[in-house]
Amino acid sequence: MTTQAVQVVGLSKRFGAMTALEQIDFEIADGEFVSLLGASGCGKSTLLRIISGFERPSAGRVVIYGEDLTDRLPERRPTNLVFQRGALFPHMSVRENVGYGLRLRGWQRTRINARVDEMLALVRLEELGDRDPTQLSGGQAQRVALARALAAEPRVLLLDEPLSALDLKLRQQMQLELRAIQKRLGATFVFVTHDQTEALVMSDRIAIMNAGRIEQYGTPRDIYRRPGSIFVSDFVGATNLFRGHVTQVSEAGTTLQTDIGSVALDRTEPGLQTGQRIALSVRPEAIRIARGAGSPGGRQVAATIAEIVYQGSSIRLRAVVADGPSIWVECRDDEAEGIAPGDAVNLTWADSAATLLRES
Amino acid sequence: MVRGSRLWSWLFVALVLFYLYAPILVIVVFSFTTSPRLSLPIEGLTLDWYGRAFADPLIPMALKNSAILATISAVGGGIAGAAFAFGLVMLRNGRLRASLLSISMLPAIVPLLVIGIALAVFFSTIALPQGLIGAAIGHVLVSLPFVILTMNARLESFDFSILEAARDLGATRFQAFRDITLPLIRPSVVGAALLAAALSLDEFVVTWFNIGSQQTVPTLVWGLMRRGIDPSINAIATLLLALLVCLVVASNLLNRRKS
């Protein structure tokens, strides 16, 4: 059995009448990179602050490497936090910032210097040790904050949206760098973000949070391919949701009546009943587009192109079903060669690309 | 036309400045002239009046009392005001924070006469004899709102997440205060304390009602002036002015310095 780095058991947090976290249970394995992903106000930062010790839970426990630390002060926890805007000490140089935690531990000056050098090399800032934090760019400041947090060798590193203030290019570069550093150190990282791409790119597992609960916890591929709820399928990546109900369930498959008409699926799912309200989620890039009206029925949907959005490497097309909703399709530019608004097209997708979700 | 109106604006500015500073200038100039009367033309320059001022045994004593009160105001007002402002900005409830700030500003608006009399009556009720102690309490009271106001302005931009960062790296509350908070707010606290000292040095009304038979520089000068204008008063006023300007300038410089 793998060691659990972090175990959160029955955790709830209330601020007055407001419930920020509701019965959270989850585990993070040793050496794992886990993202807490959700919109602002979903409770992800509160959860991180409880793990770091800055907030006390209203109920539940936080166990880190087998030790119950729920009542432990932040300064006595084996966790370190990288703050959203770095939170570097403005009156200390970069080196002093990185070495501060080690100084508190009473390390010898030479030992601190060696460790600071090592950390600055890790984040590739060897040259900037003597600068003041005010002389750093946003990306450099976040690297220093990372070096400072890692210097004390935390058993779990917590990161609270550390890249959110950076521009896109730098953010993408830092995502890969962070991931590489985590791999090299074999450390456990818990990363809070509202950016789904960031979570997909970096994580071993993602916990999708919504309204104080964890909606789904799984690998990026799992989350993207097999979203467990309508919320998850909509929040992670773009998707088409066709709402309706189940008309027939048999060994051979399932038939649905949705807002794009009747749809057949070659599979059934446990507990599915006739009449049940469902939504079918199909990713835009899973939909194939063919010109012409095609044969009616089957697993094709006839639609009319309403809008074409050029995105450079790909294009997005909005197709409208008669009396029905819009369907977004994403494909390579050459796959949609010659298609223009007003054209009648046929949309198809593999059954396996369609996810059946129950309406709650 | 534009040129003309600009000339008028400058003239107006000059007039206002003259109105503001002419009386002060007169005192400073005549503290150095040989004539015992404020009259032109100036016959000669001398430092006699300064010597005369210090020859009067009452004046060094008043200076000593003023220095004691200014020090108490600086230390007491500085520490209490800084602590209060610090607690204030840490409050999460914005409305509570705003009302506490307004309440603490009240003594700056209440007429000094009211504060002076109220303190005198209060001290006599608790049987505290008039003297330096009562005056010191009054001075701290009068300077506190200004200390709180300057500290509050400075702390509004204080990034409290760095204190959490320090705790997170293993600092206790005390270590975080010693290593992070104190070095960052020290210039502002000292600046605010200097302001409190400056306010104390020229405080008259509250002092007058509470100091009893003792004298500070302002009460002494007031007493001397009842006997007639003596140029040595100009000398004392000029010294006081120089000291106050130094304190206020130092206070501003310290508060403006980025941390």
* Contact yes or no for A7/A164 (Cβ under 8 A): no
A216 with A272, same domain?
Answer: no
Residue B259's pLDDT is 41
A229 with A269, same domain?
Answer: no
**Beta carbons of A85 and B161 less than 8 Å apart:** yes
**Third-level CATH fold of B57-256:** MetI-like fold (1.10.3720)
pTM beyond 0.80, yes or no: no
**How many CB atoms are closer than 10 A to CB A261?**
16
**Beta carbons of A105 and B175 less than 8 Å apart:** no
**Beta carbons of B164 and A81 less than 8 Å apart:** yes
Give the tens place of pLDDT for each residue, A44-74. Answer: 999 999 999 999 999 999 999 988 999 999 9
Containing domain of residue A9, as a range? 4-234
Domain extents in chain B? 57-256
SS3 A64: strand
**Beta carbons of B179 and A149 less than 8 Å apart:** no
A225 with A268, same domain?
Answer: no
Label residue A183 left, alpha or beta by phi (over 0 means left) and psi (-120 to 50 means alpha): alpha
A209 with A287, same domain?
Answer: no
A230 with A242, same domain?
Answer: no
* Closest among A225, A222, A182, A178 to A198, alpha carbons compared: A178
Give the tens place of pLDDT for each residue, A103-162. Answer: 999 999 999 999 999 999 988 888 888 999 999 988 899 999 999 999 988 999 999 999
- Cα separation, A81 vs A35, in Å, equals 14
A200 with A328, same domain?
Answer: no
Total of domains in chain A: 2
Give the residue carrying structure tokens 């932040």: A74
- Which residue, among B159, B164, B167, B168, would best test binding to A if mutated, counting the most A CBs under 10 Å from its CB? B168
If you count residue pairs, one on A and one on B, with CB atoms under 8 Å apart, how many are there?
64
| Residues in chain B within 8 Å Cβ distance of A101 | 169-170
pLDDT, mean of residues B64-86: 90
Nearest CA in chain A to B180: A89
Those residues whose C-beta lies under 8 Å from the C-beta of residue A147, and which sit 6 or more positions away, are A98, A116, A119, A120, A122, A123, A125
A121 with A190, same domain?
Answer: yes
Give the tens place of pLDDT for each residue, A225-270. Answer: 888 898 998 888 889 998 888 888 888 888 888 888 888 888 888 8
- Cα separation, B67 vs A127, in Å, equals 51
pLDDT, mean of residues B191-215: 86
A181 with A312, same domain?
Answer: no
Distances, alpha carbon A259 to alpha carbons A149, A235, A323, A342, A350, in Å: 51, 21, 9, 21, 19
Dihedral angle, C-alpha A251, A256, A260, A265, nearest 10 °:
-20
**Beta carbons of A75 and B167 less than 8 Å apart:** yes
Give the tens place of pLDDT for each residue, A180-221. Answer: 999 998 899 999 999 988 999 999 999 999 999 999 999 999
| Residues in chain B within 8 Å Cβ distance of A75 | 167-172
CATH number at residue A63: 3.40.50.300
The ipTM, to two decimals, is 0.80
A222 with A300, same domain?
Answer: no
A174 with A121, same domain?
Answer: yes
CATH number at residue A266: 2.40.50.100
User: Which stretches of chain B sit within 8 Å of chain A by CB?
Assistant: 159, 161-162, 164-172, 175, 179-180, 183-184, 259
A22 with A161, same domain?
Answer: yes
Query: How is residue A124 written in tokens?
Result: 């590739």
pLDDT, mean of residues B237-257: 79
A261 with A310, same domain?
Answer: yes
